[in-house]
Structure 1
């Protein structure tokens, strides 16, 4: 409890001596982490309904509905966030501070740093009763306080089908799953706070509810094993050259995992981020552009997975919440076929010689690496650095028109943003693939 908000205490471990019977004390610092003392044990409820039927001899078909419900899951929030009804004040106050400095003749490029941030002065903890962010931007002593709580939830529903057949020399199995996984917390990295799944608005956790990072709507897998005829009774050349070979294949095809586009990055003059709550700026999302698809348009390079025109923070009203939702797009899927062929040759009575040839990704399809909440494989962070209107120099040709249209009076709470200069140049691009086709041969002697 000593490390829980609003405390941040460290017990000294210095051995006492007669010269120094009581070690020097250590003052309290600003807390940066806390745990909900009323947490509950996580629960997972699972249920299924399965029907099996023999289609014909040595073959069967299974159909199943599978459900899963998770409650009291670990998630993270900011215990010291700026209340959303007041979040616009952070930018408004900063704008006033900036405007005063600019009016006094200071260069807009340096005014933002000199004005400081009113964000901490608007947070509920760490404020003094006389705290006035306008006259003293640094009057708030505490900043963000990551807070672990067991209030997350998830649900999963799936239709699963399995077909298996064994006919003489053939053994095959195929499985297909159509499913949807929804959650308001990360299901893959619940052991760390340094991720982009912190609640965007702690008052409204539903803003974080959507397709989870493990959501793959379609999954198909299969395996086939077939033993070719031995050609018994034929001449030795046919028996040994063509007979007795075994071929096998493994199929794996699935849609990509759900992806969320983030709008993190520094917004000059708005240290509290796009929403103004100050709750984990890396959890912010941009606005969705109506009519624009997630996937890059036809004619784009193959590695350009996402459509840069589908999201924007241009004209984003600071202190509001975005229109882009969680898990609204799908990442690269899987389309892989492996193939192998092998045969055993008898050499005398006690020695067997096995020749094997294996092909991985036999069709040599380019398969881009997938996505996870730490943005591995796909660059999906749309903002390099945004610019608030008060910090735009009107003489800058790159921002002149934006400044005139969005900032007619020099101060506004809307973002002026230039994707080419401020956005990620590799936004929506696959950083790597799973590799080309691989072929390997082996010769094994058993005795």
Structure 2
């Protein structure tokens, strides 16, 4: 059925878009004017390494690398940095002591051409020791330090993309709510196009009253220390065992974007008073484009922010994260008498961090919902979202002992030998613990102006026993969580120390048949089974408190059994 609109609603609900197009009167339009950015980075690396044989049983490898690592620059200095302690000229107009200001590189406000500081010389030592205390036994130790540049910056966000290197001109199509057209397709931008600001310091004032992300200069370089101890033992000709410990510590890891204009924690105790409208000192000072800060009143909490002349600010290159990893590893290899090998590798480990991968679309792990309280990053330390406490991988390649010259049916000839000989198996079996769950709340009542929200944990009994199938409708005890009161942060860690998603139990198998045709030609036929037993790995349960699907598993995250065949002629 179709109900024609009433003529009383003519401006908004009637009209024919194609007719408007033919008349040259579009409803809206814009044109982006980008600048071609020419980025460059200075880097040099020098290294020296030497191996010294102390005795017949002891060898030492020592190395030193010097990284001369600079920061990105741009040929025409079209880069903006955030100076948190600089005085804002707006202070004299509003009677407040305002801090924080954007600055172009290579200007009096920020003389360097490099957005994160000038080049640094970074020493990276490393050492390895191999000791043979007895026959068939080797002990290995190693340590190394690596540096990583702090260049994880989101260039798709202002002030990199907006205005500085990309500006947008918006068409004014009407001045009276669509009753009559104003600008038309024949001349949509009569006042010309807004070009990128490039390096024009006075124009940076247009960002006051806005939200944006920018890097803070002087960020430290990430360094990663790694060490290991390994004992290798050979038992006879067919069996070897490797046991070892591996550790690492990363310092000054990157966050994606870290809020820097969040309300200081001490003001949250003011409660509802934070939401009280008060006189806006920026009224009639900032342009109408400032939106919220161009109104006669603002909420009291806005004026308590570190930089009240702005809205949401983010450090786009924060190097304030840390991580530690400890793992015990065991590897057993066995050669089979009939031909083939089998090996098992087991890892028991723990990875703690207060930040996570910046390339989550490439890696395993769960979204942790961002930082809850940027004023207290110490509380972000928890299991990493991709921490796998236990992992066992068994792999094997087995030649079946049937047919001519083999242990069984070795006297076969002709067609029988062609049919029964040349068979082999290969496979990989993987078992792994599930990854930690990360919880958030559907409603953010913190009023922290930038912080996240996680639930409160009100009971230590968060886990529920039983098989995965029995817990699909309640993967964990949903009654162990509660919405935090307004103006407070939840007690749930960044990732839960107990609750995990479903683990991995996967079997892949390949059956191979090799058939010799002549001395020069042979034929390989393969049948490959992925997820041989068609086992299901359930997807994560709902982890947003307040959502109807909280605690419920609604899908799977692995593929069903896949069988593929292959035929290859070798010559």
TM over 0.5: yes
Give the match for residue 83 of structure 1: 264
Q: Confirm whether residue 142 of structure 1 aligns to residue 305 of structure 2.
A: no
Give the match for residue 379 of structure 1: 542
Q: In 2, distance between residues paired with 1:65 and 1:436?
A: 36
When the two structures are superposed, what TM-score results if normalisation uses the length of structure 1?
0.70
1:260-339 correspondence to structure 2 within 5 Å: 260-265=438-443, 273-280=444-451, 283-295=452-464, 300=470, 302=472, 305-313=475-483, 316-328=484-496, 329-339=499-509
- Structure 2 spans left out of the alignment, 5+ residues: 1-78, 85-99, 104-162, 168-191, 278-296, 362-366, 405-410
Q: In 1, distance between residues paired with 2:318 and 2:518?
A: 69
> 1:80: Cα distance to partner?
1.1
SS of structure 2 residue aligned to 1:257: coil
Higher relative contact order (CA 8 A, sep 6+): 1
Residue 296 of structure 1 contacts residue 304 of structure 1 at CA under 8 Å; is this kept in 2? no
SS of structure 1 residue aligned to 2:272: helix
Q: Confirm whether residue 164 of structure 1 aligns to residue 333 of structure 2.
A: yes
Residue 446 of structure 2 contacts residue 453 of structure 2 at CA under 8 Å; is this kept in 1? yes
Q: Confirm whether residue 65 of structure 1 aligns to residue 245 of structure 2.
A: yes
Output one character per residue of 1:133-153: Cα deviation in whole Å (capped at 9) or x when no partner. Answer: xxxxxxxx4222112321211
Please give the root-mean-square deviation of Cα atoms over the aligned residues, in Å. Answer: 3.2
Give the match for residue 248 of structure 1: 426
Larger Rg, first or second structure (1 or 2): 2
When the two structures are superposed, what TM-score results if normalisation uses the length of structure 2?
0.55
1:77-156 correspondence to structure 2 within 5 Å: 77-94=258-275, 117-126=299-308, 141-147=309-315, 148-156=317-325
| Number of aligned residue pairs | 350
Give the match for residue 205 of structure 1: 377
> 1:11: Cα distance to partner?
5.6
Q: Confirm whether residue 439 of structure 1 aligns to residue 563 of structure 2.
A: yes
Output one character per residue of 1:84-119: Cα deviation in whole Å (capped at 9) or x when no partner. Answer: 11113253443x67xxxxxxxxxxxxxxxxx97544
> 1:226: Cα distance to partner?
0.8
Residue 228 of structure 1 contacts residue 245 of structure 1 at CA under 8 Å; is this kept in 2? yes
SS of structure 2 residue aligned to 1:259: coil
Change (3 A) 1:425 1:198: closer
Give the match for residue 400 of structure 1: none
Give the match for residue 173 of structure 2: none
Output one character per residue of 1:382-434: Cα deviation in whole Å (capped at 9) or x when no partner. Answer: 23xxxxxxxxxxxxxxxxxxxxxxxxxxxxxxxxxxxxxxx243654244321
Residue 296 of structure 1 contacts residue 308 of structure 1 at CA under 8 Å; is this kept in 2? no
Change (3 A) 1:196 1:223: closer
Larger relative strand fraction: 2
Residue 91 of structure 1 contacts residue 276 of structure 1 at CA under 8 Å; is this kept in 2? no
Q: In 2, distance between residues paired with 1:324 and 1:286?
A: 6
> 1:262: Cα distance to partner?
0.9
1:45 to 203, 212, 225: 225
Q: In 2, distance between residues paired with 1:12 and 1:305?
A: 48
